[in-house]
Each structure stands twice: as C-alpha cells, then as structure tokens.
C-alpha cells in the first residue's frame, strides 16, 4: 500500500467503484450544504435564490464537475501537472488552487471547530440545558471568545492533518461509505420534526415562494459562489481526487450522482432550518450562526433531543472532515509531487499555516469584529475571495481550457473512456463547456469583481 508519495509509479488509487463516488460526494457534501446554503439563502431572500442556485447547478455545476474529473483522470498527477499536460499555459489554475486551499481551509476549519464544540456540548448535556430562546446568546458568547474557538479550530485541523497524512486509500473510502448514509438518515428525521413544528409552514412558504424582486446581480454572484463552494468546484480538489481514479470508471454518471446528492442534501437542509426558524419566530437572515442556533432549538423540543443533537453534530463534524481532507489534498498531492516533500512533512506544514491563518478569522467574530478590509470583516473577506472570485475564475479557466484548447475529440475521448461509454449527453456537455459556461461565468465574474454592476 503505497501512500501516494512521489511520482507516477505506485500512485495510490481508489480501490472500489463506489469508493470514489463516496469520496467525491464526501468532499461536496459538507458545511456548504448544511451550514452555508441555509444562511446564504436566508440572507438572499429565500425562494428566488434557491431557483437561481438550481439553475446554476444544472447549467454550470454538473458540467464543471465533469470537466474537473476529466482533467484529473487524464493527468493522473497533481493539479498543476494535470493542467499543464493539456496546455502548459494553464498550469496557473493549479497554483491558484493551492493558494486558495490555504485560505479556504483556514475559515472552513474555524467553523469545523464550532461543530466539534457543539458535539462536546451535546455529549455532556450542557447544550440541552440552554433554553431555546437563549441559543443565540449561547452561540454568540462562544464564537466571540478569543481562545476557546481557537482550541477547537486547532482540533479540527489536527484531525484533518492526521487523516490526510495517512494517505488516500487508508480508510477514507470505508469511512465515508458508512457515515454519509447515516448523515442522510439523520437529516430525514430532522426534516420530519422540523416541518411538523407548529408554525413551520410559514417557513416552508418563505423557502419555496420566489420573490424575484430580491434577485439582483449580487444575489446571482452569491448563488454562483455557493454552487462552486458546495460542489467543491474551482479548487482543483475534484481534479486531484479524479487523478487517483482508474481509467474504466464512468465519469459522466459519477458527475451526475455527486451533483444530485449534494444538491438534494442542501435542499433538505433548507427544509429543516427555515421551518424551525419561523416556528421560533426567528429571522432567516441570521448569517453564519443560523444553523448553530436554530438546530439546537429543535433539539430542545424533541424527545431524546440531546441524543439527536450529539449524533447530528458528530455527523456534521464528519461531513466537514470528509470535505476538509479534499481541500487539503490539493496541496498535499502538489507538495509531494512537485516539491518532493514527504506526505507527513507536507501535512504538518499545511496544518501549521492553516492554523495561523485561522487565528484572525476566528478573532473576527469577537475582539477583531471591527477590523474591515475592503469594507468586509476578515471572515467575509476570505469567504468572498474564495467562493465568489477564485473558485469561479478557476472554473471559467477550466472551461476555456477544455473547450478551446483540449478540443472536442480529446475531451470526449476522456469522458467516454475512448468511446466505450455511449452517452447522449457528452456532445451537449462539450457545447455547454465551450460556449455557455464561458459566457455565463464571464458575466458573473465581472459582476463579482465590481466591473459590471446590475
Ligand atoms: N464542498 C465543500 C462543502 O460543501 C467545501 C469545499 C469547497 C470542498 C471547495 C472542497 C473544495 O462543505
């Protein structure tokens, strides 16, 4: 069992057909679905945002997932080399991915730390003793402390480093296979509880009824950023995972399955959160704290609520970890293959830098709350740069690379395994990648950086 260090020879591979799907779905399904999607929807006006989100998943998301899968499996190497193998002047997408990985993990793991804290608090029963209407203060009190959240941030990074240091096939496949379905079952139970709360239907109505007056240029930018974030696109994470994939795997169906699973979980999360918020008379625009306040509120109203709380937050930790390892793996594959570091050294280095970068992010919820850079707080700035600028820019570049430089014959040969897979959608995919995505993403990108202002 070669742990994936070093060049092409003896490179690690996903062992089972399902292993890759679970790893890729594990990467996609994470805090983005259960934490970020609901609060972005809440801040952007509900149903209209959800519709925009679905449209972008269908037109841009699924196609770009297949783009990343095909580039990675074709390259069979770290992101920089995989792009360069198609065209040397696109290697920068890989470097941008490495850079963005550091920024993304630094705030992702701060929130990951919150999920660990909540797991502990529900295990000891102290979460259950907080009255429902005090849940907001409980959360706010915790994240604004200087040291405690950093301790949990450290724990989350340590777990991520520990898993990644052990290599690709060293247990992740089995682990995600067992735990992702459990997450799904837990969500379904919460769904039933949430929509049967008195007053829940106001939340359902708010979630489903599109108010198109809320659709502005910045909502579209936010929806696009959410698609990239949630589907793990534009970081080269999916390129990196697919580089460990065997040549007979069906990339087309894999990209559909991963995108569908990810979208389904996000939509269900909304059906859990919004009915609950409305049932408790809360505000849907609560920002990053939404899930940490409203879910514990349901738990206090459920029989065996603290048991459910514990299982739920533990699974949220796991969902976050199966994503954070993919964010990190972009860099680890890069450092081991390009810089020739050992996997352990690369992992420790990455962990240390990410911990330090997370310090200002964490403090921005408390004593550094007033620090503003370009008009944004530190957390918001990191998140805006990653989700709305770096990820879509890289997605745009990938589409141009495949559509205009790789070309139809070679790209289709990769996604159909040299013609052995008959697919009626492959041609449509290529057309979308070559023409539609560059136009759509180009416009959204100009809006994101402020050149266009709709
Ligand atoms: N998709 C992950 C989530 O939803 C986050 C992520 C983004 C992972 C980009 C990898 C790359 O939580």
Give pLDDT tens digits for 304-321: 888 888 888 988 898 899
The domain of 215 spans: 17-448
How far does the centroid of ligand 1 lie from the alpha carbon of residue 208, in Å? Answer: 25
Say what the pLDDT of residue 166 is: 77
Mean pLDDT along residues 279-298 = 83
How far does the centroid of ligand 1 lie from the alpha carbon of residue 230, in Å? Answer: 5
- The verdict on residue 4 lying in a domain is no
User: Which CATH number belongs to the domain containing residue 231 in this structure?
Assistant: 1.10.4160
Categorize the per-residue pLDDT at 409 as very low, low, confident or very high, splitting at 50, 70 and 90.
Answer: very high
How far does the centroid of ligand 1 lie from the alpha carbon of residue 32, in Å? Answer: 6
How far does the centroid of ligand 1 lie from the alpha carbon of residue 98, in Å? Answer: 14
- The verdict on residue 453 lying in a domain is no
| Residue with more model confidence, 308 or 202 | 202
Mean pLDDT of the chain: 90
What are the C-alpha distances in Å from 434 to residues 11, 73, 378, 406, 440? Answer: 32, 20, 36, 10, 11
Say what the pLDDT of residue 393 is: 96
Say what the pLDDT of residue 412 is: 97
Give pLDDT tens digits for 139-197: 999 999 999 999 999 999 999 998 888 766 665 666 677 777 888 888 898 899 889 98
- The verdict on residue 11 lying in a domain is no
Say if residue 452's pLDDT is above 50: yes
Say what the pLDDT of residue 421 is: 92
Query: What's the whole-model pTM score?
Result: 0.93
Atom of ligand 1 nearest to the CA of 324: 8
Give pLDDT tens digits for 1-28: 343 333 445 677 777 778 888 889 999 9
Which of 160, 229, 269, 386 to probe ligand 1 with, by most ligand atoms within 8 A of CB? 229
Of the chain, the percentage scoring pLDDT greater than 90 comes to: 66
How far does the centroid of ligand 1 lie from the alpha carbon of residue 301, in Å? Answer: 31
Q: Is-contact 207 271, C-beta < 8 A?
A: yes
User: Ligand 1, atom 4: nearest CA belongs to which residue?
Assistant: 32
Say if residue 41's pLDDT is above 50: yes
User: Ligand 1, atom 9: nearest CA belongs to which residue?
Assistant: 232
Q: Which two tokens stand for residue 419?
A: 């013609």
**Closest Cα to residue 297, out of 175, 138, 409, 116?**
138
Say what the pLDDT of residue 14 is: 79
- The verdict on residue 125 lying in a domain is yes
Say what the pLDDT of residue 4 is: 38
Say what the pLDDT of residue 7 is: 41
The CA distance from 324 to 27, in Å, is 7
Say what the pLDDT of residue 369 is: 87
Categorize the per-residue pLDDT at 277 as very low, low, confident or very high, splitting at 50, 70 and 90.
Answer: confident
Beta-carbon contacts of residue 159 (< 8 Å; ≥ 6 apart): 321
- The verdict on residue 76 lying in a domain is yes
Mean pLDDT along residues 78-98 = 97
**3-state SS record for the chain:** CCCCCCCCCCCCCCCCHHHHHHHHHHHHCCHHHHHHHHHHHHHCCCHHHHHHHHHHHHHHHHHHHHHHHHHHHHHCCCHHHHHHHHCHHHCHHHHHHHHHHHHHHHHHHHHHHHHHHHHHHHHCCCCCCCCHHHHHHHHHHHHCCCCHHHHHHHHHHHHHHHHHHCCCCCCHHHHHHHHHHHHHHHHHHHHHHHHCCCCHHHHHHHHHCCCHHHCCHHHHHHHHHHHHHHCCCCCCHHHHHHCCCCCCCCHHHHHHHHHHHHHHHHHHHHHHHHHHHHHCCCCCCCHHHHHHHHHHHHHHCCCCHHHHHHHHHHHHHHHHHHHHHHHHHHHHHHHHHHCCCCHHHHHHHHHHHHHHHHHHHHHCCCCCCCCCECCECHHHHHHHHHHHHHHHHHHHHHHHHHHHHHCHHHHHHHHCCCCCCCCCCHHHHHHHHHHHHHHHHHHHHHHHCCCCCC
Mean pLDDT along residues 396-402 = 98
Atom of ligand 1 nearest to the CA of 35: 12
Question: Residue length, the chain?
Answer: 454
Q: Is-contact 297 280, C-beta < 8 A?
A: yes
Which of 327, 390, 394, 398 to probe ligand 1 with, by most ligand atoms within 8 A of CB? 327
Mean pLDDT along residues 289-301 = 84
With tokens 């990410």, the residue in question is 354
How far does the centroid of ligand 1 lie from the alpha carbon of residue 329, in Å? Answer: 12
Beta-carbon contacts of residue 92 (< 8 Å; ≥ 6 apart): 83, 397
Say what the pLDDT of residue 143 is: 95
| Residue with more model confidence, 215 or 178 | 215
| Ligand 1 binding site (Cβ under 6 Å of any ligand atom) | 27-28, 30-33, 229-230, 232, 235, 237, 323, 326-327
- The verdict on residue 215 lying in a domain is yes
Q: What number is the ipTM of this complex?
A: 0.98
Say what the pLDDT of residue 1 is: 36
Say what the pLDDT of residue 2 is: 40
Q: What is the number of domains present in the chain?
A: 1
């Amino acid at each position: 069992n070669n742990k994936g260090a070093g060049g092409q020879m003896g490179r690690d591979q996903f062992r089972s057909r399902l292993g890759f799907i679970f790893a890729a779905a594990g990467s996609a399904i994470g805090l983005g679905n259960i934490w970020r999607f609901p609060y972005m929807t809440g801040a952007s006006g509900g149903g209209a945002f959800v519709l925009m989100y679905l449209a972008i998943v269908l037109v841009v998301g699924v196609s770009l997932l297949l783009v990343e899968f095909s580039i990675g499996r074709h390259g069979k190497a770290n992101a920089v080399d995989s792009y360069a193998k198609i065209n040397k002047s696109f290697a920068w997408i890989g470097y941008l991915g490495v850079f963005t990985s550091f920024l993304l993990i630094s705030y992702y793991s701060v929130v990951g730390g919150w999920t660990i804290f909540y797991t502990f608090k529900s295990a000891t029963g102290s979460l259950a003793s907080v009255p429902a209407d005090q849940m907001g203060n409980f959360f706010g009190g915790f994240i604004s402390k200087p040291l405690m959240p950093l301790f949990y941030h450290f724990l989350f990074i340590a777990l991520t480093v520990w898993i990644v240091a052990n290599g690709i096939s060293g247990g992740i496949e089995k682990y995600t296979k067992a735990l992702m379905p459990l997450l799904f079952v837990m969500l379904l139970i919460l769904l039933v509880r949430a929509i049967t709360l008195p007053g829940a239907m106001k939340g359902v109505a708010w979630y489903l009824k599109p108010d198109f007056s809320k659709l502005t240029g910045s909502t579209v930018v936010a929806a696009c950023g959410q698609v990239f974030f949630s589907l793990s696109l534009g970081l080269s994470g999916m390129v990196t995972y697919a580089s460990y994939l065997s040549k007979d795997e069906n990339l087309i169906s894999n990209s559909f399955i991963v995108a569908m699973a990810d979208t389904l979980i996000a939509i269900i999360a909304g059906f859990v959160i919004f009915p609950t918020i409305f049932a408790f008379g809360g505000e849907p625009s609560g920002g990053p704290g939404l899930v940490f306040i409203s879910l514990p509120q349901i738990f206090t109203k459920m029989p065996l609520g603290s048991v459910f709380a514990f299982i739920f937050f533990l699974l949220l930790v796991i969902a976050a970890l199966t994503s954070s390892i993919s964010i990190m793996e972009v860099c680890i594959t890069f450092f081991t293959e390009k810089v020739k570091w050992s996997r352990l050294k690369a992992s420790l280095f990455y962990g240390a830098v990410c911990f330090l970068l997370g310090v200002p992010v964490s403090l921005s919820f408390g004593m550094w709350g007033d620090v503003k850079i370009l008009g944004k707080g530190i957390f918001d700035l990191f998140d805006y740069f990653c989700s709305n600028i770096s990820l879509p820019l890289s997605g745009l570049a990938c589409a141009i690379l495949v559509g205009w430089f790789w070309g139809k014959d070679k790209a289709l040969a990769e996604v159909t395994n040299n013609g052995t897979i008959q697919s009626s959608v492959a041609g449509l995919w290529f057309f979308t990648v070559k023409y539609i995505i560059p136009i759509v993403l180009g416009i959204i990108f100009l809006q994101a950086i402020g050149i266009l202002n709709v």
